[in-house]
Structure 1
């Protein structure tokens, strides 16, 4: 760990904090620009001495996860700034709950019509879909969060299981991704809820016991649409820069599927 780099960053952010965001006395006679060390320590529930040691970059002054998370909260760090300071001390950054998406991401999603696309948050819960996704898989807007989870859907949606050829192989892949994501946030109540819901499934249990671990990678899928028949899909997952969200594209894998997507765009699934 580089204590000096962390301390310098904390001091800079403290001294440049906007006092209008805090319930402190913004007296013009203040000797310190921004917040004082005492104020940050008080709001961060740490002693002034310990915070001073951290900010001064003294050897061995390594904040715990909880202390650093509180300091990030007090100093109004953005998610990239939070990621940065947690990287400095070799800890996994707490991930913000991002229930909304940017306008640019929404535009990207809709521009992918007539092919399905959707966006997942850091817990792999679907938070936005385009029109073609809804035509193929139904409208998820009214479903509770658990039932919109990509992993939950893979194992608990009988409609998805029945319509996907090679479901077992896909389920092993999803399990591997889930294990890796879960390892980055072992205290997540959302991921625990997903695990609890699917742990009894024999395919999941077998893959989990085999310690399958996977990154996202291209998937070739055959999905049966009740309206237009079999669709050959190529599924790609991309991380959205500056977020902990993922956009998933299900592109036509052949000309026939491309034609069927155009037909599907004007038909009810």
Structure 2
């Protein structure tokens, strides 16, 4: 079965489900429409007979992250809560799925796109993929559970460093950190197919039961982090530093940040 929505695609084929972000001309930037359709597809998968879910992006990249046009919208402040609720629901639903989930990265996975990949159980990347938790460049903090998900993979100390630096990592670096689980050359789709053929021989009920135990013992912390990110992100989105960061991004120049802690507390 294939479900072709406008900006997200879902294919259900026996025990394997595949969700593809489908805004290739926008580098699969995540706006409200993408998030809504992604959630819709996740819920279909949750109720399906599938044992495995592949999450990938059509076109040149997995996802460039949150849509900058959404951030620049005049109604951005009024829509903030709605957008954050969609982000949180998408990540929480993906993280909690009973199926084993695999994000397949190519090109780039940045910002919210990386947070979504991190919410999956396993990350496979093409060797030339680059990743970045680059919210700091526009004076924001990671959302989509980025704080929680990075800490789970690499520990709080390294997670803070990566978030603060916001630098782009090559796939090999990300693999050494433990952010990416596996790097592959050549035909990535063929490798994923071979990888799934291995897991399809395993007892799926036992796989799901192990996942359920880990989810149930950690999901309350993820919910807490998502709530904290929502509150803090609103403060950041109202700051003059954020406005400067977005302007600088659009003007392709280095931002000049100057907001003090006192300024932030007053917003």
TM-score (norm 2): 0.27
Q: Point out the structure with max Rg over C-alpha.
A: 1
Whichever structure has more helix as a proportion of its residues is 2
TM-score (norm 1): 0.26
